[in-house]
Amino acid sequence: MMNELLRVEDLHTHFDSDQGTVHAVDGASFGVNRGEIVGLVGESGCGKSVTARSIIRLEDPGRIVSGRISFDGRDLTRADEATLRRVRGEDISIVFQDPHETLNPVFPIGDQIAESVRIHDGGSSQGLLDFLGVPPFRNRTAWNRAEDRAVELMEQVAIPDPNGSAAEYPHEFSGGMRQRAMLAVALASDPNLLIADEPTTALDTTTQAGILRQIWTLRDQRDMGVLLISHDIGVVAQTCDRVVVMYGGQVMESGPVDEVLTAPKHPYTRALLECSPRNLGRDERVSTLEGSPPDAVGGHDGCPFADRCRLATSDCRSGDIPVVESDPGHRVACIETPADSRGTPTVAASGQPRNVVAPDGGDEK
């Protein structure tokens, strides 16, 4: 695709543990286009963060055993550390859930944003100053420029009174403002792709909505691609153009948000939607999905969701599950896709349409 920025193809990422090999990502494929917000959603432990860490190979990324990650046509899977460093400095930025851990408590917020501007814009002369151990303040003009840019960035992420706020320390900021500051740090390098791993999870819903709106606006202004990781399907519904539903290290379903979330085809997507607190009335209790996610140790044969799926047959428990494109761009990895999901009937691997007894939406009542 012409404007595809990121492509993840059949990614397998493993960790070695005392219990055995953890198949954290177990054959995931998806893409992010320029100017598009893609939501990566799924329960805890399904491999969302490891996928993100594999893309930029930061913070204990695990072992990529097979598959391919390409960014803007370049193969990142086999890139050396110098190339990756350049990609992280110029092309891809990541923000995490807890800005407490990323912001340094002893420096003013403005300085920390300016520092990332300086690293990005410094070029070779700054590299030499760094090498010689010349403190940044010695290169006054460069630092002043970076400070000005930091204030601009704070303005762009809608931090009020950016000039005054720049002098404040992280503890003087509210959680939401700290997250906005992190966003400013991430934007300092003018990335083409922003990966946001649960950026609003720790925040109250109003603050959360404000930041998600901001990400929306920034995407529009900068035409960046965004990979928004969340376990909250409501956040994805509010913010994203496309959604990738992950489970057991694999992609269960992906496609345009309005299709996937209004006419979900995969039983797992349906279960996630039923459990979303936003779909319930005031007095209804939040139900949780029955059973627990599969153990990632050793991987699994067949569909990872089979053990919790009420439609599962013996065919679901072995071999590769074929991915069916039910509508353009809407893909489902399920051989028992319910017939009442308004799509065309799913044709199984054998080429024979299956006789599926459609449940009434798979309600867990």
Ligand X SMILES: Nc1ncnc2c1ncn2[C@@H]1O[C@H](COP(=O)(O)OP(=O)(O)OP(=O)(O)O)[C@@H](O)[C@H]1O
Structure tokens at 351: 């080429």
Partner from Ni ion, ligand X, none binding residue 17, C-beta < 5-8 Å depending on class: ligand X
* Closer by beta carbon to ligand X, 17 or else 350: 17
CB of 294 to ligand X, least distance (A): 9
CB of 18 to Ni ion, least distance (A): 22
326 forms part of the interface with Ni ion (CB under 5 A): no
Cα dist from 26 to 10, 248, 300, whole Å: 8, 7, 9
CB of 334 to Ni ion, least distance (A): 24
What's 336's DSSP letter?
S
Q: Looking at 49, 93, 179, 326, which residue binds Ni ion (CB under 5 A)?
A: 49
DSSP, collapsed to helix, strand or coil, labels residue 325 as strand
Partner from Ni ion, ligand X, none binding residue 45, C-beta < 5-8 Å depending on class: ligand X
CB of 293 to ligand X, least distance (A): 8
Partner from Ni ion, ligand X, none binding residue 294, C-beta < 5-8 Å depending on class: none
How many amino acids of this chain bind ligand X (CB under 6 A)? 15
* Closer by beta carbon to ligand X, 184 or else 195: 195
CB of 22 to Ni ion, least distance (A): 14
What's 172's DSSP letter?
G
Do the Cβ atoms of 241 and 261 come closer than 8 Å?
Answer: no
Distance CA 232, CA 203 (A): 13
* Closer by beta carbon to ligand X, 54 or else 93: 54
Residue nearest Ni ion by beta-carbon distance: 49
Do the Cβ atoms of 24 and 246 come closer than 8 Å?
Answer: no
15 forms part of the interface with ligand X (CB under 6 A): yes
CB of 285 to Ni ion, least distance (A): 26
Partner from Ni ion, ligand X, none binding residue 41, C-beta < 5-8 Å depending on class: none
What's 24's DSSP letter?
E
* Residue of 194, 197, 229, 231 whose CA lies nearest to 215: 194
Q: Looking at 6, 11, 24, 303, which residue binds ligand X (CB under 6 A)?
A: 24
Residues 29-68 close enough to bind ligand X by CB under 6 A: 42, 44-50, 60
* Closer by beta carbon to ligand X, 244 or else 309: 244
* Closer by beta carbon to ligand X, 22 or else 316: 22
* Residue of 57, 7, 66, 77 whose CA lies nearest to 299: 66
User: In terms of DSSP H, where are the helices of the chain?
Assistant: 48-56, 81-90, 99-102, 109-121, 123-132, 140-156, 162-165, 175-187, 205-222, 233-239, 257-262, 267-275
Stretch that binds Ni ion, among 48-56, 126-134, 141-149, 174-182 (CB under 5 A): 48-56
* Residue of 352, 347, 350 whose CA lies nearest to 337: 347
Q: Which residue type occupies 330?
A: H
Q: Helix %, strand %, coil % for the chain, to 5?
A: 40, 20, 40
* Residue of 251, 211, 257, 217 whose CA lies nearest to 234: 257
Residues 296-315 close enough to bind ligand X by CB under 6 A: 296
* Centroid of chain to Cα 48: 6
Structure tokens at 339: 């017939």
13 forms part of the interface with Ni ion (CB under 5 A): no
Contacts of 21 (CB under 8 A, 6+ apart): 14, 15, 297, 298, 299
CB of 189 to ligand X, least distance (A): 24
CB of 279 to ligand X, least distance (A): 20
Partner from ligand X, Ni ion, none binding residue 104, C-beta < 5-8 Å depending on class: none
Give the residue carrying structure tokens 């900021």: 173
Per CB under 6 A, residues contacting ligand X are: 15, 17, 22, 24, 42, 44-50, 60, 231, 296
Per CB under 5 A, residues contacting Ni ion are: 48-49
